[in-house]
Structure 1
Amino acid sequence: MANGDSGAVPLPTPGPSVGAEIPRNGEDAPPGGFVQLLTPEGERVDSVTTADGTTYTVDFTDDEYRALYRDLVTVRRLDAEATALQRQGELGIWASLLGQEAAQVGSGRALRPQDMAFPTYREHGVLYTRGIDPIMPFGLFRGVDQGGWDPNEFKFNTYTIVIGAQTLHATGYAMGITMDGKTGNADGEAVIAYFGDGATSQGDVNEAFVWSGVFHAPIVFFCQNNQYAISEPLERQTRIPLYRRALGYGFPGVRIDGNDVLATFAVTRAALDQARNGQGPTLIEAYTYRMGAHTSSDDPTRYRIASEVESWKAKDPIARVKAFLTKQKIGDDDFFGDVDEAATKLALDLRERVLAMPDPQPVTLFDNVYPHGSPEVDAQKAEFVRYHASFEGSAH
């Protein structure tokens, strides 16, 4: 299941249609419904068929179900440790994924090894599924480096802070692999671009939609609709469901229960496979909720009420998988305890490694601007050194 060939079983479909409606509309679904394969109570839904004839399901082994649960618990525990580190002054800022674990783990595990991902600054769960050392983003948020992983090695681009800019980067990359002849078959490459609901109001995102639609780029746009663009609720961003915006750009859109790791995997895997086979883009709207603050500098109590947060707690992505495993007798107390213990051990190890990070000297900020140096940067560096030297021996 982990980036392999087993797992999702999208049934054969005709060519992708546009703006497919979703018949399922459970008690926890928004108006118009969404694809859901695991309810908040942990009940399994065999399959869901959208109005365009696409049927989504998964066929996991018991070990694969357990592995998904382990992923979810681990990324949440690492995220909690990061939040604690920021509150203790060890990180400059942190963007928590709390509540969005299923959207990230499900989509991350749906990627095949050759696929390329373009994240925002919150995709710690996707990063984890790509096999990247989870300490890597901590250097960025601690101010030690700019993110230490190799995008080419892990097929996972560096974090993008500018809202929506990564969708254009992803679109250009997707157009490029088409030009290189790396699509059009089951072994081809595909691209996924992550962004939030607020980013859909950015010009960059809409331009990416235009170019991808016109050039039939092999890309999946994965929108984590966590209900708030920092402090603005969804209704201040759009008058229609976000997935239906795909209609205007000429490619299909589908909404999933973003707190359901199974539905996320199934729909993302199917969309990526369609893209790699030459069927063009798809917009996935993962309907989820940001349980914490937008970043550690945000106070969500100023713009949302406690009862809303409590209602979403009942839809917790980890609790439903645990309930499913328990009902199916796939996981027991010993298993759940082992997962918790391993996640805690990894988090504590991560904490020690973060605290051991060396603090770079301020002058090193000039060292990696250009690969072969620059007279202008050299002059700026020299002035910076002189300026700091002027304070030596000063009482101030």
Structure 2
Amino acid sequence: MATTPREGSDYQLRARDIPVGAQMLFVAFGALVLVPLLTGLNPNVALFCAGCGTLLYQLLTKGRIPIFLGSSFAFIAPIMFSVKTYGVAATTGALAAVGVVYAVAAGVIRARGVGFLQRLLPTIVTGPVIMVIGLILAPVGVAMAMGKTGDGAAVLFPEQTAMLVSFFSLAVTVTVAIYARGMLRLLPILSGIGAGYVLSLCLGMVDFSAVAAAPWFAVPHFVAPSFSLDAMVVIVPVAIAPIIEHFGGILAVGQVTGRDYLQDPGVDRSLLGDGVATALAGCLGGPPLTTYAEVTGAVALTKIYNPALMTWAALTALCLAFVGKLGALLQSIPTPVMGGIMLLLFGAIMVVGLNSLVREGADLMEPRNMVIVALIIVLGMGRMTFSLGGLRLEGIGLAGVAGVLLNLVLPLPRRRE
């Protein structure tokens, strides 16, 4: 735990920091807009929600933590399923409910301490849930990389052309992530999308008609939520993993700045800020929000720890949200470009879950651990459904709930003498 605050880690709003703050948004931009592009939500709304959400977060955490909130990848699979099954309004209503779950968890932490939530949601539960989130999306990435729609039902581009573009985008992303230095290394997704887009232009795959028709200034297309229990049951249980990940994000930025944010302003305030921001995003038609590790990496690289940088990043996001042509340009990116990025991204999500088990040193051959991990993965990947009255659980939601219940019910292994 960090104990010595770094110089310049107190909130100071200065005009000279505007370019550095805007740079923080640039670091987050690729991932921030990728989620709405994959799930069918509006990227301009996502920018607006990220900006407002970050400002709300700063207000609730007293401007202490240099964190930027952007679109959460954990919810991609359930959002895609829910949008297709229940519609955008019901989906965003369920996402607003996720924010309420975060707030409730924050209240529990405040009353019972962090240890209680860690006992309820240990790595043996959250690790395989994260793995399922990545694995269940793999067919979507493969279909789009091959020039099809995400469900594979329709062909959008010739397969050979699509795979050329998708693997080129993937290759650039991997190259930047491994070999790049300095700030560029923090932009692998943005680099891959940009390179793939340029190749798509050369191959005549981009249609600019929507960009030409879009106005320069336009209010983002906000969507009022509706509240469907079916959509909530699909989406809300996924909140298990991001709640645990939130602790990791707070610890990481604390190590960078030399402050103990778990105590001041408190992880309960931080999670509450994330929850309020996510609830607002759901009410406006945007994706749920989470702390962005790539922005924390940029803070570490620049060694500028002033939390006000995130204020400028948020204000920049709000300004860009009203540029109509930007949203149309983002939506003109061909699906093979996004498919190539997803091949790596969804695999990386799975690896994050696997790595959490490895770091925990979990013995997966121990019967209790084996049962929990095996059932979470099989129930999630097999898309098992369970109905009881008006309650319906399936896929990731069922896997997460099953993991929590198994962890509570199954006895801990006896310690060997």
Report if TM-score (shorter chain) is over 0.5.
no
- Indicate the structure (1 or 2) with the bigger Cα radius of gyration: 1
> Comparing both chains, which one has the higher relative contact order based on Cα–Cα distances under 8 Å and sequence gaps of 6 or more?
2
- Superposition TM-score tier, normalisation by shorter sequence: under 0.3
Q: TM-score, normalised by structure 1?
A: 0.28
Larger helix share, 1 or 2 = 2
Q: TM-score, normalised by structure 2?
A: 0.27
Larger strand share, 1 or 2 = 1
